[in-house]
Chains A and B, each alone.
Chain A
Amino acid sequence: QKEVEQNSGPLSVPEGAIASLNCTYSDRGSQSFFWYRQYSGKSPELIMSIYSNGDKEDGRFTAQLNKASQYVSLLIRDSQPSDSATYLCAESGGGADGLTFGKGTHLIIQP
């Protein structure tokens, strides 16, 4: 059974600071990785996808992947109160069963 582990939090970060969210996965065959943001009671929204080792930047968001360490992270620069949400990490090994999700990290940006 594949597993994706995340610290449930809450992770509290001051407004304007960098928020760092981490995720580890169990399957060395995992190929694709995704970060979703979910506001309470709403559906998950895709923020970033990353497929190769290294960093991928999109606006204030940077995803980092280290396949040797089986580790994925998401950095949010210049954190805003609107970034307060639960962040879900997901992975896929390319199989037909789609994505495996972590349970999410609850992020709170303090004004």
Chain B
Amino acid sequence: EAQVTQNPRYLITVTGKKLTVTCSQNMNHEYMSWYRQDPGLGLRQIYYSMNVEVTDKGDVPEGYKVSRKEKRNFPLILESPSPNQTSLYFCASSLSASGDYEQYFGPGTRLTVT
């Protein structure tokens, strides 16, 4: 089944404790992206990647890191999480290298930072 997977689905952590949210797609998509979704603010792009070893900042990159060492994986790293990073996070992928074609979303990761 073609899909985007994320892990973990739910995470409660404390301020400053480094964490990684994994994202993997099995559709051989070039483009991958991370979004966060907050009430009243909609979906905001954190980082995106057009191909292996090619990543760039989105609209809200502060406090996040990403890497794209393999085409299928695009982990999101929070080196020192803070409460304002409490949010619902989505990974997405697209066949188009520029991401301007349909994007397919993972199931989401609900993160709470206390």
Q: Which of B29-75 contact A (CB under 8 A)?
A: 31, 33, 40-43, 45, 48, 50, 56, 58
Q: How far, in whole Å, are A31 and B100 apart by their CA atoms in the complex?
A: 9
Interface residue total, chain A, C-beta cutoff 8 A: 23
Known A42-B107, A96-B48; contact A32-B100, beta-carbon cutoff 8 A:
yes
Contact indicator per residue, chain B 9-34, by CB within 8 Å of chain A (1) or not (0): 00000000000000000000001010
Across the interface, do B100 and A42 meet the contact criterion of CB distance under 8 Å?
no
Across the interface, do A96 and B33 meet the contact criterion of CB distance under 8 Å?
no
Chain B residues with CB under 8 Å of A41's CB are 88, 108, 110
Whether A17 sits at the interface, judged by CB under 8 Å, is no
Distance in Å: Cβ of A38 to nearest Cβ of chain B: 9
Whether A88 sits at the interface, judged by CB under 8 Å, is yes
Distance in Å: Cβ of B3 to nearest Cβ of chain A: 11
Chain A residues with CB under 8 Å of B42's CB are 88, 101-104
Q: Which of A21-40 contact B (CB under 8 A)?
A: 31-32, 34
Chain A residues with CB under 8 Å of B100's CB are 31-32, 92-95, 98-99
Distance in Å: Cβ of A6 to nearest Cβ of chain B: 9
Distance in Å: Cβ of B110 to nearest Cβ of chain A: 8
Q: Contacting A97 at CB < 8 Å: which of B43, B90, B99, B102?
A: B99
User: Which residues on B are within 8 Å of A, measured CB to CB?
Assistant: 31, 33, 40-43, 45, 48, 50, 56, 58, 88, 90, 94, 97-108, 110
User: Which residues on A are within 8 Å of B, measured CB to CB?
Assistant: 31-32, 34, 41-46, 49, 88, 92-99, 101-104
List 7 contacting pairs A-B, 8 Å CB cutoff, sorted by A: A32-B101, A41-B110, A88-B43, A94-B100, A97-B48, A98-B103, A99-B99
If A43-B108, A96-B48, A98-B94 are given as contacts, then 15 extra A-B residue pairs at C-beta distance below 8 Å, sorted by A number, are A32-B100, A42-B108, A49-B102, A92-B98, A94-B98, A96-B97, A96-B99, A97-B48, A97-B58, A98-B33, A98-B98, A98-B99, A99-B100, A102-B42, A103-B42
